[in-house]
C-alpha cells in the first residue's frame, strides 16, 4: 500500500475520533478486499473497506459499537452451567 493512501486512512480515522491500527491485506484470489482497522473508546477493533473510509463513516462505526455496548450493559451475564444428572 502506498504511503499516501495509508496517510489518508490514518487522517480520516483520527478525524472521525478513532485510533488507527493499520491495514489488513486482502486476498484477491479469494475475493477478499483489504480492510482499514481502527478502534474507538471501547478499544474494540473495527474495520472499513478502503472505499468506505471517511471521518463520518468512522464516527458512525464507533457510535454503532458504543450503542451496542450500551445495550448490553444492562443485560446480566449469562454463564453456562451444566445440568445435574437426574
pLDDT in tens, 52-63: 999 999 999 999
Residue 84 is assigned to a structural domain of this protein: no
Residue 64 is assigned to a structural domain of this protein: yes
User: pTM value?
Assistant: 0.80
Residue 15 is assigned to a structural domain of this protein: yes
Domain span at 68: 3-23+34-72
Say how many domains are in the chain: 1
Please provide the size of the chain in residues.
86
Residue 86 is assigned to a structural domain of this protein: no
Compute the distance between CA of residue 40 and CA of residue 13 in angstroms, rounded to an integer.
Answer: 10
| Four-residue CA torsion sign, 51, 3, 44, 13 | negative
Residue 48 is assigned to a structural domain of this protein: yes
3 confidence band (pLDDT: 50, 70, 90)? confident
Residue 77 is assigned to a structural domain of this protein: no
Amino acid at each position: 500500500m502506498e504511503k499516501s493512501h495509508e496517510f489518508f486512512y490514518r487522517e480520516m480515522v483520527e478525524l472521525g475520533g478513532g485510533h488507527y491500527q493499520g491495514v489488513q491485506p486482502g486476498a484477491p484470489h479469494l475475493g477478499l478486499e483489504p480492510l482499514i482497522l481502527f478502534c474507538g473508546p471501547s478499544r474494540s477493533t473495527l474495520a472499513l473497506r478502503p472505499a468506505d473510509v471517511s471521518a463520518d463513516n468512522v464516527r458512525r462505526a464507533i457510535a454503532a459499537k458504543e450503542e451496542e455496548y450500551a445495550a448490553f450493559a444492562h443485560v446480566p451475564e449469562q454463564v453456562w452451567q451444566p445440568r445435574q444428572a437426574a
